[in-house]
Chains A and B, each alone.
Chain A
Amino acid sequence: MNKVIARTINMSKSFPTGEGEFLALKNINLEFVSGEFTGIVGPSGSGKTTLLNILGSLDTPTNGEAEVMGQSIRQLTQRQSGELRSQHIGFIFQTYNLLPVYSVFENVEFPLLLLKMPAEERRKAVLNALEWVGLMDKISSRPAQLSGGQCQRVAIARAMVKKPAIVLADEPTANLDTENSLHILQTMSNLNKELGTTFIFSTHDDKVIKYLLRVIKLIDGEVANDDPASGI
């Protein structure tokens, strides 16, 4: 039986607005187990990114509970949530968010520096990660010298290099053309199968949905559907 990586229990999230409060997530009850390849789909403003942010301990729920790796997100101190992210969670962003002054190698290496991994081990891990995403020839390039697809592959390598339990990807293909999107999805799918890493995407891209093994549909902050998908 697969281990539960993250769960939410009656979780709600609201944001203050000028006139009152905007309820971004309402009463969310979800469970994610290891090895999942799950997509959170829904129109813009449905709460996909908010849910990912909470699962990534970048935000906290207003009500209810969110647990990741057995730790309550609400209870974590700033330092503990930093540790949780650095040890167990990988992020992939729509806008890649690579560190512009670092080379490809250094960008991928960065999460391992936070884990204080010895230099030789670090080097091996980085080269492995770059091999997974097929960027061995761009090792010394800067993000500005790469295409969008290549940048996203660097971001995947950076998220995967520490072999996290969970990778949260927020609209990872939104800025990419079809060919690059498929390449990225194929890469992530392979990593999911090879390493057993849990992937949770937020997306409204049909190309992505085809790859998913589970689709959670959010509408207006509520789970409208949570079904196993066909997947490829």
Chain B
Amino acid sequence: MMILHLAFKNIIGNGWRSLVNVLILSIVLIAMVWMQAMYYSWIKVAEKQHVAWEYGSGMFRVSSYDPFDAFSWDSSFAPIPQAFKQQIEYGKVVPILMTPATIYPAGRMMPAVVKGIPNQQSLLSFPSGGFVSENPFAIPAMIGTSMAKNARLKVGDVFTVRIKDSSGAFNALDIEIVKILSIPVPSVDIGTLWVDLSSLQEIKALPDAASYLILADKSQNTMEAPGFRLIPKDEYFADLYQIRESERAQEYIMYSLLLFLAMIAVFDSQALAVFKRRREIGTLSALGLTKNKIALLFTTEGVLYMVFAAISTAVLGMPIFWYFTKFGYRLPSGYEDFGMPGFSEPIYFSYPITIIMGTLMFLLALTAIVSWLPTRKIASLKPTDALRGKVR
């Protein structure tokens, strides 16, 4: 307690030098919490968007589908299992049929995936009843903004699409873009045209077939779905988590740089303190404090910097943290073109206690070590030399 009291007094007595240390540590703490919260919130936002636009509360995918084999996509369908039909009627399951296609916008040829979704559904974020066109000869389609940008399409554009039906015959038909949606999930947007399920089933000559079954409720995961395979959440989000992992390297480099700067500040002020306060070290020794306790005093001072920094972070960082919770963080325009999920909309931050406490504990431990390092000199300092202000 006495050591803590003396350390506290010394820090306060150290004036602006303490303030600078505390501010540096506080900035590092704010930056680290902010960065971790951003990555955490980005993943949460991306997960939420995937759930809203593609995954629902669960997904059955046709067993023959291989995302890495485009040739398998032609045959990636199966009859909708009987048990699901009533659920589809009640809007508790949304069937989606997919097929590879070639589109010819303005005479250009582009590969695309056409996906059929029921016109009336509210499980996914697609506007219900959106497939409406005044053109009786064209199939109404919706696309995302990325697809529109890449294929240079706009609402009202009519172009040809070529689709192979279930018998292997190619059908060429006209498609009209009726809506361009802001879709935050790249896998739902990029290279994809969305049409009414029944139209696609008709084109493919596959009435009653689907490639995916999107569930409204987790409890539906246990339903029997012959020809389909349940895609667990971890498997579905594996790519997202992999992106997160690949981001970690640069995150750690940033942390290392920040920590290096902060710890240099602490180390420097501790080393300077041991040098400048050697007479005080001698006095404390003469008064009966052992060298270990004196070293503990200096280490405690270092740790207290971090404690003050934590308090200062709570005060200075709170408005910053609140701002990003309230107004979100939008990445500079163009990031969404990278095909990264969750980047096209503002990321609203959340700060789990584990992130805050984990960062704080880590910094406390690191500060304690860095504060202790210069105090090793005290062990080799003779009290008589210290009293004379000498350092060997």
Contacts and interface: CB of A to CB of B under 8 A. Distances in A.
Interface string B77-90: 00000000000000
Interface stretch (A110-118, A131-139, A193-201, A214-222): A110-118
Given A99-B280, A101-B13, A91 B286 contact: yes
Interface in A119-173: 158
B140 interface: no
A221 to B, nearest CB: 16
26 contacts: A53-B384, A56-B286, A58-B285, A58-B384, A58-B387, A78-B292, A82-B285, A82-B288, A82-B293, A85-B286, A85-B288, A87-B288, A91-B286, A91-B287, A93-B286, A95-B279, A97-B282, A97-B283, A98-B283, A99-B284, A101-B13, A102-B9, A111-B287, A113-B2, A114-B289, A158-B287
Contacts of A86: 287-289
B290 interface: yes
A111 B387 contact: no
Of A56, A101, A111, most buried by chain B (CB within 10 Å of CB) is A101
B383 interface: yes
Contacts of A95: 279
A111 B282 CA distance: 14
A79 interface: yes
A101 B287 contact: no
Contacts of A79: 290
B38 to A, nearest CB: 40
B286 A59 contact: no
Nearest to B389: A95
Contacts of B284: 99
Nearest to A97: B283
Given A78-B291, A86-B287, A59 B12 contact: no
A17 B307 CA distance: 45
B128 interface: no
A101 B290 contact: no
Contacts of B10: 101
Contacts of A18: none
A83 B285 CA distance: 10
Contact of B9 (A97, A98, A101, A111): A101
B92 interface: no
A56 B285 CA distance: 11
B292 to A, nearest CB: 8
Contact of A100 (B13, B282, B285): B13
A86 B2 CA distance: 14
Interface string B270-301: 00000000011011111111111100000000
B317 to A, nearest CB: 28
Contacts of B289: 82, 86, 114
A48 B292 CA distance: 29
Which label, helix, strand, loop or mixed, suits the secondary structure of the B interface? helix
B156 to A, nearest CB: 77
A85 B387 CA distance: 15
A100 to B, nearest CB: 7
B164 interface: no
Nearest to A49: B384
Contact of A59 (B9, B13, B382): B382
A186 B35 CA distance: 66
Contacts, number: 65
A83 B12 CA distance: 29
Interface in B233-284: 279-280, 282-284
Of B6, B292, B382, B384, most buried by chain A (CB within 10 Å of CB) is B384
Contacts of B291: 78
Contacts of A78: 290-292
A114 B283 contact: no
A110 B287 contact: yes
B298 to A, nearest CB: 14
A106 B2 CA distance: 11
B12 A93 contact: no
Contacts of A58: 285-286, 383-384, 387
Nearest to B382: A59
A59 B384 contact: yes
A85 B287 contact: yes
A78 B293 CA distance: 11
Interface in B281-327: 282-293
A95 B282 CA distance: 12
Interface in A161-189: none
B2 A82 contact: no
Interface string A22-35: 00000000000000
A32 to B, nearest CB: 18
Contacts of A84: 288
A106 B268 CA distance: 28
Given A97-B283, A100-B13, A114 B288 contact: yes
A59 B384 CA distance: 7
B214 to A, nearest CB: 67
A54 to B, nearest CB: 9
Interface in B1-38: 2, 6, 9-10, 12-13
A56 B288 CA distance: 10
Nearest to A15: B384
Of A58, A100, A106, most buried by chain B (CB within 10 Å of CB) is A58
Q: Which 3 A-B pairs have the closest CB atoms?
A: A86-B288, A101-B13, A97-B283
Nearest to A83: B288
Contacts of A53: 383-384
Contacts of A113: 2
Contacts of A91: 286-287
